[in-house]
Copies of this chain bind each other. A is one copy, B any other.
Amino acid sequence: MATLIAPSNNLPHEDAEALRKAFEGWGTDEKTVITILGHRNSNQIQQIRRAYEEIYQEDLIKRLESELKGDFEKAVYRWILEPADRDAVLANVALKSGKNYNVIVEISTVLAPEELFNVRRAYIKRYKHSLEEDVAAHTSGPLRQLLVGLVTAYRHVGDEINAKLAHTEAEILHEAVKEKKGSHEEAIRILTTRSKTQLIATFNRYREAHGTSITKKLLDEKSDDFQKALYTTIRTFNDHVKYYEKVVRDSIKKLGTDEDALTRVIVSRAQHDLKVISDVYYKRNSVLLEHVVAKETSGDYKKFLLTLLGKED
């Protein structure tokens, strides 16, 4: 369930005009920006972008960049991109800033196969490089094999489960991932080519056979980037809602909020399952996500996030 509250009767041209008015004169009327863009779904926003361009011969995104600042600007920018384009930007930023391979794993495992392919299309359009080209250039060894395999996968979507395969591959994962014996080649093959349904059957089979989940106690302070990416891959396939709850929790728990992570989850999921993530958050932490967000952020950035969370200030 989404948290976004978007009326279905908006008029793109009126929205474009109202935004233009908000930019004019002294300073920017941020409240209007939030009220409009925080209450439109991605299709509506693309219509507004086109209407704005049509009327004013100006790119709405560029104008917003010059009108807004800081985390608020970043959040608005990410929110109003087409979803595939947003993920392309998030992936590129993650690669360039080094080390946040979780973003690459999220995009590859949470999106549907066709959506992931659209991100690859958007990535090429924007950067004139393929996504896998940039992933491969920033990594090496098993981490490269895993991440390139994840971003380039086009998996079968269906209910078919091969129980025998789940059995065999649960044991392969046990050896490679849990016991850390031998090469990771087969574990990577399984995680990068099997359908999501088949993988979940394999993880379930693992739990039955070993009495614990495959990710349990998998990471410690010595874990390297590959092990972390492997862990995230299994977690996001298994239950991406629980995974996102943890990302949000960590982003707030730190000394100084990790705005990038918080923004990423909220803009990426507001139109999809942020309500579910927020419920799991409440269950886990006994505090409402919107209260924590209100406490840990401020100004227009706070107002915008709360709007996307379906809770105006």
Contact = CB atoms under 8 A, between A and B. Distances in A.
Contacts of A137: 189, 193
A130 B137 CA distance: 25
A158 interface: yes
Contact of A156 (B129, B154, B185, B194): B129
Interface in A150-188: 152-156, 158, 160, 185
Contacts of A148: 149, 193
A220 interface: no
A120 B119 CA distance: 17
A288 interface: no
Contacts of A192: 132, 136
Contacts of A149: 148, 152
Contacts of A154: 117, 120-121, 124, 130-132, 152
A14 to B, nearest CB: 37
B144 A189 contact: yes
Contacts of A117: 117, 154
Contact of A140 (B141, B156, B160, B185): B185
A197 to B, nearest CB: 11
A184 to B, nearest CB: 12
Contacts of A193: 130, 132-133, 136-137, 148
Given A136-B189, A136-B193, A193-B136, A130 B145 contact: no
A145 B146 CA distance: 11
Nearest to A154: B120
A283 interface: no
A222 interface: no
Contacts of A185: 140-141, 144
Given A120-B154, A132-B154, 19 more contacts: A117-B154, A121-B154, A124-B154, A129-B156, A130-B154, A130-B156, A130-B193, A132-B152, A133-B156, A133-B194, A136-B193, A137-B189, A140-B185, A144-B185, A144-B189, A145-B145, A148-B149, A148-B193, A149-B152
Closest 3 CB pairs of A and B: A152-B152, A133-B193, A136-B189
